[in-house]
Structure 1
Amino acid sequence: MNDVLLAIGTRKGLFLGRSGGRGGWDLTGPHFPMQAVYSVGIDTRGDRPRLLAGADSSHWGPSVFRSDDLGAAWHEPAEPAVKFPEGTGTSLERVWQLQPAGPDEPGVVYAGTQPGALFRSEDGGETFAFVRSLWDHPQRPEWGEGFGGQAVHTVVTDPRDPRALMVAVSSGGVYRSADGGESWEPSNSGLKAEFLPDQYPEFGQCVHKIARDPVDPDRLYLQNHGGVYRSDDGGTHWTEIGKDLPADFGFAVTVHPRRGGVVYVFPASDGSDRYPPEYRCRVFRTEDAGATWEERCAGLPGEPHYGVVLRDALRTDDADPAGVYFGNRNGEVYASADEGESWRQIARHLPDVLCVRAAVIG
């Protein structure tokens, strides 16, 4: 098997793991010590992988760094890569998402930010242009703030059409573009906003994460603030599919890289505690697009467990069989080399884990 790279963004830096067979891991770091790393991208479209990291220094502020040698050296542009234009009346607080586009656009990377905005790079993440059409959307001034702030935290591209984009906003809901980001429309039919007087509004939902099915691109999965949902028509309509889960709250959802209908979630209790239900560390997997769910916890802690998994901290790699990874707010990272059937702890005592990414690198 080729090497797998695992990137772990934490409250106090970035840690990188590398494994030749996913049996043992060599962990390095922290890169960017004392900086919160909310977003990581592993771009494998070129001749060599490029790593992107959205780091936030309490002294210097947020920035986007890049590395073309697997983290041996990092480069920060002389001018901010992501910057709000004059006249917007705001400034960058955080980069929540760094998402490479598809192979048809080898230099394109999207950045989702707080305040809620979208940026597009055409040079692999070295510079980014402001997508003004989303910022100027007439509904944007009415977007609320999630517990983590108001942000565009998820960008979903379409393998069939580089002009088709989807973003998730806390708390604005889902928005789609069919013309490369020139115009946007809300796409929230069927999504509940239990905290609003009108619980099924046109926009304003607190969407936590979206993932696209690898076989049927019209099928999407969504973890909401209350409910796991599926769309079979590209996001036009959403249907709840999480009734068999122990809690309808959670932050993360991810999909198998090749098998359609295989989805992973890590539920959490809503309300003031936000711990795993029954204080049990469990990943739930469906193999039938949400018709049924089964817990997958072999090798995970059996004693009471309190670590919750944030929206970008549950991911798969593109190996065969697929690896599944998650990190929690206790600073623990777990890996499965058999698509979630069994797990082992590969890191502990890290700072609060904010995001995880994994990819085969050669």
Structure 2
Amino acid sequence: MHMENPRYLLAIGTKKGLWLATSTDRRAWDLSEPQFLMQEIPAIGIDTREGRNRLLVGVRSEHFGPTVVHSDDLGATWTEPERASIAFAEGDDAAVERIWQILPDSEERPDVVWAGVQPISLWKSTDGGETFELNRGLWEHPDKSDWGAGYGGAAAHSIIPDKQDSQLLHVAMSTGGVYRSRNGGESWERASKGISAYFLPDPEPEMGQCVHKIAADADGRLYAQNHRGVFRSDNQGEKWISIAEGLPADFGFVMLTHPRRSGTAWVIPLVSDYERVAPEGHLAVHRTDDAGETWHKFDDGLPAKDFNVVLRDAAAVDDGDPAGVYFGTRGGSVYASGDEGESFVEVASRLPDVLCVRAAVLHSGGAAG
């Protein structure tokens, strides 16, 4: 997105509250005071469709439980529904534990917002995120009894609505793998073939993988950061191939893709599931510009030593030109790059454990609270 005098918003969800940062050049940032202090913020969506600057935030209170709140003035005021916007019906015999993902759909579907929830479930809003309806096709899938919980819980953490085909939708979960719908979510089929699961009797099963994150590039090609393994699918998840060669390690949580340029993706490798730190204790972002054929390491502006982990949603890409790349660590540092990951500046340090980072180019007007 090219915009004269752009203004950027960075939303940082942590274990103990929400911070907002704004910038005009993605190098100098103004950081707000915390909001929702002492509440967990595991999910954020920034909706800039049709001229909006809407913040959608999944808030988890130890006392009141999880809900979705929204702000149309960049955090100056918040709207919270009287009844939880995401709630199971009485007969579902389930309760919402955590909102893992909030995703505004494409420009062509300006009122649709998706949410991924624990227990593993997919929810759809058709009113901009005010209210959500449970996707019954996934909730009642015959594989459901075999889906398990990852180390952090049972998460429906990746939702990819196809930009061109409104009927095509991919969801990834930990644990369970990747599932695909060709009919707008009415029914779902497994789409994990080729993704490994060394911890299962069959190392290449049809389902049950602990996929950490999936993302789609501008041409709809899919990428996956797995619990060991980095993969790509050129056929909508029908088959996945490894693209880990050239990376220092194939474990990690982050998978980001470029909003406009096909073949460009970013990962942040960690040594392994047994050693969850960056190789040699040095955080670095790795980018491919040829769909995983080659990888390039970028660490300009990052600390020489940092033994903290970057979680799956604690990283984001904006749609600026060039695209901005952002991530936060479990040690509370947040970094921003205005040049597609080639150099970084520190936006914040010593925040609580960073769970979610989202960034966007703002429409004119509004102020971060």
Q: Tell me which of 4, 29, 36 is aligned to 1:32.
A: 36
CA distance in 2 between counterparts of 1:344 and 1:22 reads 8
CA distance in 2 between counterparts of 1:338 and 1:133 reads 41
Whether contact under 8 Å (1:6, 1:356) holds in the other structure is yes
After the TM superposition, which residues 342-357 of structure 1 pair with which residues of structure 2 at under 5 Å, given as runs? Answer: 342-357=343-358
Whether contact under 8 Å (2:27, 2:336) holds in the other structure is no
Counterpart residue identity of residue 55, structure 2: L
SS at match of 2:280: helix
- Of residues 111-120 and 339-348 in structure 1, the stretch that sits farther from structure 2 once superposed is 339-348
SS at match of 1:30: coil
After the TM superposition, which residues 20-169 of structure 1 pair with which residues of structure 2 at under 5 Å, given as runs? Answer: 20-169=24-173
Shift of 1:93: 0.1
Whether contact under 8 Å (1:224, 1:249) holds in the other structure is yes
SS at match of 2:145: helix
Shift of 1:273: 3.4
Aligned length: 359
Equivalent residue number for residue 269 of structure 1: 271
Q: Tell me which of 213, 221, 237 is aligned to 2:223.
A: 221
- Match status 1:289 vs 2:291: yes
CA distance in 1 between counterparts of 2:51 and 2:290 reads 36
CA distance in 1 between counterparts of 2:144 and 2:44 reads 26
Shift of 1:201: 1.0
Whether contact under 8 Å (1:81, 1:126) holds in the other structure is yes
Shift of 1:145: 1.2
- Match status 1:200 vs 2:213: no
SS at match of 1:134: helix
Equivalent residue number for residue 234 of structure 2: 232
Equivalent residue number for residue 185 of structure 2: 181
Shift of 1:2: 1.0
Equivalent residue number for residue 242 of structure 1: 244
**1:217-244 Cα distance to aligned partner (Å, 9 max, x none):** 1x11110001110001111110010122
Shift of 1:46: 2.6
Identity of aligned residues (%): 54
Equivalent residue number for residue 251 of structure 1: 253
Equivalent residue number for residue 16 of structure 2: 12
SS at match of 2:91: coil
- Match status 1:328 vs 2:332: no
SS at match of 2:253: strand
Whether contact under 8 Å (1:102, 1:162) holds in the other structure is no
**1:12-57 Cα distance to aligned partner (Å, 9 max, x none):** 0111111112231111131111111000000011332111000111
Counterpart residue identity of residue 231, structure 1: S
SS at match of 2:320: coil
**1:250-286 Cα distance to aligned partner (Å, 9 max, x none):** 0011012222111110011223431111111111111
**Residues 68 and 188 (structure 1), Cα distance of their counterparts in 2 relative to 1, 3 Å cut:** same
- Match status 1:278 vs 2:280: yes
CA distance in 2 between counterparts of 1:253 and 1:206 reads 14
Higher strand share: 1
Equivalent residue number for residue 310 of structure 2: 309
**1:54-85 Cα distance to aligned partner (Å, 9 max, x none):** 01111111110100101111111001100011
- Of residues 264-273 and 162-171 in structure 1, the stretch that sits farther from structure 2 once superposed is 264-273
Q: TM-score, normalised by structure 2?
A: 0.96
Q: Which runs of 5+ in 2 are unaligned?
A: 364-369
SS at match of 2:254: strand
Q: TM-score, normalised by structure 1?
A: 0.97
CA distance in 2 between counterparts of 1:290 and 1:329 reads 27
SS at match of 1:200: coil
Shift of 1:247: 1.1
Counterpart residue identity of residue 108, structure 1: V
SS at match of 1:46: helix
CA distance in 2 between counterparts of 1:109 and 1:271 reads 33
CA distance in 1 between counterparts of 2:26 and 2:150 reads 36
Counterpart residue identity of residue 118, structure 2: Q
SS at match of 2:356: strand
CA distance in 2 between counterparts of 1:273 and 1:37 reads 26
CA distance in 2 between counterparts of 1:242 and 1:85 reads 42
Whether contact under 8 Å (2:227, 2:273) holds in the other structure is no
SS at match of 2:275: coil
Shift of 1:179: 0.7
Whether contact under 8 Å (1:284, 1:294) holds in the other structure is yes
Counterpart residue identity of residue 269, structure 1: V
